[in-house]
A and B are shown apart, each in its own frame.
Chain A
Amino acid sequence: MGINREHVGREYRSPQPYEVTRGKIREFAEAIGDPNPIYIDTATARAAGYGDVIAPPTFPVIMGMEGMSQAVVDPELRLDFSMVVHGDQSFAYQRPLQAGDVVETVTRIADIAALGGNERLTLESEMRTAEGELVVTAVNMLVVRGAAEEAGAQGAKGQGSSA
């Protein structure tokens, strides 16, 4: 049984605003192995013209995960997370996130489509400050392997729509 197509357009709002902190930025920068001082040293970031340390470009994945997690546990959507692999990801930045930002994320199911034996689920997330300033837009396409047929039929080659 495939993903429930009736849910295109459904929105998931972050349960509470996400506070971007220096400590979380440092932890994330370390996890991706990026030693750029602009992520960890306030003086470096200020010298570059920012108010505080900025976050690496893929940092918004943290807020995107929050929206995705809500979709994953939404029983009406019928998503089997163990069969999910990441297909496409894009970010459009109005500016980099920086420590001190408090952002709210709204994740919308933009599209559900079959592709061979797999299904593609596209999630669009907008991250805005409490004042309504759009900071980042993220588009996340997930491939649910074997969702359009019996699970397991596609094997490892199911990852990515062009694999």
Chain B
Amino acid sequence: MTATVRYRDVEVGTEIAEQVYPVRRIDLIRYAGASGDFNPIHWNERTAKSVGLPDVIAHGMFTMAQAGRLVTDWAGDPGALVEYKVRFSAPVVVPDDDKGAEITVSGVVKEKLDDNLVRIALTARSGGAKVLARSTALVRLA
């Protein structure tokens, strides 16, 4: 129940190293099954295009999971996460090929608060677009 990063070792501006998370169509199929979100825009190109999307797009919650992983891997304990919020500012478009798309996530400590809490600002990009905006994680450090 304890983060491995110590509050006193962190300053406003401390960066969390960028990570790249791949996402292919098969990942979306698997995520649909695990989460219960079977909205066809996440697996059916015909449906996605018929509602005006460029192609199949990733579940927003899949992207949120990847950005969350950046924080939980850094903090050392997923249970250190107190609050986590994201805004989905653009879709992660996942083409039907073997490469799929990439989600690049980075973070920076924005605020040090009482009670060993820090607020992390998260950035996620895919295909040249900012896919998460105004996204933050509140984490209780050791």
Nearest-Cβ distance from residue B75 to partner chain A, whole angstroms:
11
Count of chain A residues near B, Cβ 8 A: 50
A34 and B69 in contact, given A48-B2, A92-B83 (Cβ under 8 angstroms): yes
Residues of A close to B47: CB separation below 8 A: 82
Q: Are A89 and B33 in contact (CB under 8 A)?
A: no
A58 touches B89 (CB 8 A): no
**B37 in contact (CB, < 8 A):** yes
User: Assuming A85-B88, A155-B52, A163-B90, is B82 touching A62 (CB within 8 A)?
Assistant: no
Interface SS of chain A: helix, strand, loop or mixed? Answer: mixed
Q: Are B86 and A57 in contact (CB under 8 A)?
A: no
- At the interface, yes or no: A90 with Cβ under 8 Å from chain B? yes
Given A56-B78, A82-B40, A163-B89, A90:B30 Cβ within 8 A: no
Do the beta carbons of A162 and B133 come within 8 Å of each other? Answer: yes
Per-position contact with A for B41-76: 1 when CB-CB < 8 Å, else 0?
100000100111110010111101110110011000
| A93-B39 in contact (CB<8A) | no
Indicate whether A89 sits within 8 Å of B34 (C-beta atoms), given known contacts A48-B77, A160-B88: no
Q: A86-B60, A93-B83 are in contact. Are A32 and B54 (CB under 8 A)?
A: no
The secondary structure that dominates the B interface is mixed
- Interfacial chain B residues near A74, Cβ < 8 Å: none
- Contact between A57 and B72, CB atoms less than 8 A apart: yes
**At the interface, yes or no: A19 with Cβ under 8 Å from chain B?**
no
Cβ–Cβ contact B83 & A90, under 8 A: yes
A residues 84-107 with Cβ under 8 Å of B? 84-93, 95-96
A81–B47 alpha-carbon span in the complex (Å): 12
Q: What is the distance, in angstroms, from A14's C-beta to the closest C-beta of chain B? A: 12
Within 8 A of B (CB), among A24-66: 27-28, 30-34, 36, 38-39, 48-50, 54, 56-58, 61-62, 65-66
Residues of A close to B65: CB separation below 8 A: 32, 34, 56-58
- When the two chains form the complex, which single residue of A56, A82, A95 contacts B68, counting CB atoms closer than 8 Å? A56
User: Smallest distance from the beta carbon of B49 to chain A beta carbons, Å?
Assistant: 10
Other A-B pairs, 8, CB within 8 Å; known A31-B30, A162-B89: A57-B72, A57-B81, A82-B51, A83-B51, A85-B88, A155-B52, A159-B91, A162-B134
User: Hey, which bits of chain A sit against chain B, CB under 8 A?
Assistant: 27-28, 30-34, 36, 38-39, 48-50, 54, 56-58, 61-62, 65-66, 69, 81-93, 95-96, 139, 145, 151-152, 154-156, 158-163
